[in-house]
Amino acid sequence: MFRKWQAFDLTGENCNQVYVPVGCAHGFLTLEDAVVVYKCGEVFYPEGDEGIVWDDPDIGVEWPLKLARGRESLTLSNKDRQLQSFERFVDIYGGF
């Protein structure tokens, strides 16, 4: 599913989880106060922590921004504000 995306509605009521295979990008948007927990398959190495900017048009994720009170209401970490484009990520790391 290179350059494809899927969305999942995870709530406290449905108690669903998502397994993200190694090599697949992932991101999330919370619509209310939430705790997000990651389980990793190996030790986390911050120096290898890379990513793709959340709103890259080459991927075209249809984020439900209206439900989140619009783009201007989003809270992004400093790291997330500085992430690279999908094209740049593929130039560096390749693709599947």
What pLDDT is recorded for position 96? 61
The model's pTM: 0.81
Q: Which of 33-37, 47-51, 89-93 has the highest mean pLDDT?
A: 89-93
> What would the pLDDT profile of 42-65 be if each residue is shown by its tens digit?
888 888 888 999 999 999 999 999
Q: Tell me the mean pLDDT in the region 26-47.
A: 87
The dihedral over CA atoms of 51, 56, 62, 68, expressed in degrees to the nearest 10, equals 70
- What are the residue boundaries of the structural domains of the chain, listed by start? 1-96
What pLDDT is recorded for position 39? 84
- Inform me whether the pLDDT recorded for 37 exceeds 90: no
